[in-house]
Amino acid sequence: MIPAPPPITGWTWPEEVGRAVLREVRAVPTEEACGLLVGVRREDGGVVVTSAVPAENVESPGRRRRRFLIDPLRLLEVEKSLRGGNEEVVGFYHSHPDGEPLPSEVDRTFMELWPNTLWVIAGITEGGELPQIRGWSLDPDPGEVNEVPVAPSESAPAARARPPHPGVPRGARRPHGAWTDIESPRGKKED
């Protein structure tokens, strides 16, 4: 039995994992890059990310600059590969090609579906500087999105290399949950 995740008190990742995510984000400057974060949760609420697993942004091409959507099958694949170990999917990452690394209203809507999960956002502000990275999590009690500070880890396991995302086959049906499926997202404006 894996206990239900407690509120996240801090997070960290090895430098090489951070560099890999930055490379990925900068490689698609006009689209939101996205992926899964694998790691371990410590009893004190700290999250140690051990690897970042890129995922294809399967939103419709014209919307990828301001939206991302990860095929849920990608999550199932990764979770299956982790069975039997102490690592799990601890969060997700994505980029904001035109903005700060702050959760948008759309992000917050989906964070409600993933309480106590780490959401790392890389924001690319005007000027093309290195993306700024910040971590966030929704605490379901009382339902607030809080910034999660980067906390050094004394027991961070070594990062693990992972194979690149195989991609979604041409003609594959887009997973349900695309932003275009949303008629009225709880009255919140698109952001």
Partner 1 sequence: MSVKVRVPSALRKLTQGRSELEGKGGTVREVLDHVGRDNPELLARITEDGGEIRQFLNVFVNGTDIRYEKDLDTPVAEGDEVSIVPSIAGG
Contact between 41 and 33 (Cβ < 8 Å): no
Regarding 100 and contact with partner 1 (CB under 8 A), the answer is: no
Q: Does 190 bind partner 1 (CB under 8 A)?
A: yes
Report which of 28, 167, 15 is spatially closest to residue 95, judged by C-alpha positions.
Answer: 28
- With beta carbons less than 8 A apart as the criterion, state whether 179 and 63 touch: yes
Return all residues near 93 (Cβ < 8 A) that are at least 6 apart.
21, 33, 34, 35, 36, 37, 52, 119, 120, 121, 122
**142 is a site residue for partner 1 (CB under 8 A):** no
Return the number of the residue (16 or 71) whose C-beta is nearest partner 1.
71
- Position 181 contacts partner 1 (CB under 8 A): yes
H-helix or E-strand spanning residue 186: none
Can residue 156 be called a binding residue for partner 1 (CB under 8 A)? no
Task: Say if residues 74 and 184 touch (Cβ distance below 8 Å).
Answer: no
Q: Which stretch binds partner 1 (CB under 8 A): 13-21, 125-133, 153-161, 175-183?
A: 175-183
- With respect to partner 1, which residue has the nearer C-beta, 12 or 104? 104
Paired strand residues for 120: 93, 135
> Least distance from C-beta 15 to partner 1, angstroms?
25
CB of 179 to partner 1, least distance (A): 6
Residue 170 burial class via C-beta count within 10 angstroms: exposed 0-12, middle 13-18, buried 19 and up = exposed
Stretch that binds partner 1, among 43-51, 115-123, 142-150, 161-169 (CB under 8 A): 115-123
> Which residues contribute to the site for partner 1 (CB under 8 A)?
1-5, 32, 34, 59, 66-70, 72-73, 75-76, 79, 88-90, 92, 94, 103-107, 109-111, 113-117, 119, 140, 173, 175-179, 181-182, 190-191
